[in-house]
């Protein structure tokens, strides 16, 4: 399961990920991170069985955490199965299956590249 963290200015310089790993024993993979001295947005991959524990641990440290259950949504009425999203996605979220583009939302890290590349504006990022 993927988690999106939004780290506020007051805590961005703290060793948040390290301390959560020590507390929970979870194996955490950083899939995308945009961090500077002021704030940060991070996407993590955590095993399903540790996901709730890790989310709670970050929230206790003041981090805003969102579960990325369906990170990218496609409007099937707009999609023309051109494959542009397959070419640009860095994580292999899209693939052809019998000349139709199918998605594996569990791979998405919400980089937004496919949303920009889609010529039919059929894709959008979802936070929930």
Q: Is 126 in the site for ligand SF4 (CB under 6 A)?
A: no
- Specify the residue, 40 or 71, whose C-beta has the smaller distance to ligand SF4: 71
Spell out, one character per residue from 40 to 79, where the chain touches ligand SF4: x when CB under 6 A holds, - when not: -------------------------------xx-x----x
Structure-block tokens of residue 98: 């019998």
Q: Does 82 bind ligand SF4 (CB under 6 A)?
A: yes
CB 12, CB 39: distance < 8 Å: yes
Q: Does position 24 bind ligand SF4 by CB under 6 A?
A: no
DSSP 89: -
Return the residue of 18, 73, 80, 102 that touches ligand SF4, per CB under 6 A.
Answer: 80
Q: Is 103 helix (H, G, I), strand (E, B) or coil?
A: strand
Give the interface size with ligand SF4 as a residue count (CB under 6 A). Answer: 27
Tokens encoding 112: 């937004």
Residue 12 interacts with ligand SF4 (CB under 6 A)? Answer: no
If 0-12 CB within 10 Å is exposed, 13-18 middle and 19+ buried, where does residue 2 land?
buried
- Residue position matching structure tokens 């947005």: 41
Least separation, in Å, of the C-beta of 115 and ligand SF4? Answer: 6
Give dist(CA 52, CA 57) in Å, integer: 9
Q: Report the interface residues with ligand SF4, using CB under 6 A.
A: 71-72, 74, 79-85, 88-91, 93, 101, 108-114, 118, 120, 122-123
């Amino acid at each position: 399961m993927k988690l999106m963290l939004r780290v506020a200015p007051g805590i961005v310089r703290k060793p948040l990920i390290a301390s959560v790993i020590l507390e929970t024993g979870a194996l955490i993979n950083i899939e995308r991170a945009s961090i500077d001295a002021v704030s940060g947005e991070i996407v993590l991959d955590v095993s399903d069985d540790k996901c709730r524990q890790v989310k709670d641990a970050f929230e206790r440290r003041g981090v805003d955490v969102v579960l990325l259950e369906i990170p990218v949504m496609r409007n099937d009425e707009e999609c023309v199965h051109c494959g542009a999203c397959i070419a640009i996605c860095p994580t292999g979220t899209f693939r052809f299956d019998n000349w139709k583009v199918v998605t594996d939302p569990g791979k998405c890290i919400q980089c937004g590249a496919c949303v920009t590349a889609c010529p039919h504006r059929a894709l959008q990022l979802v936070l929930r």
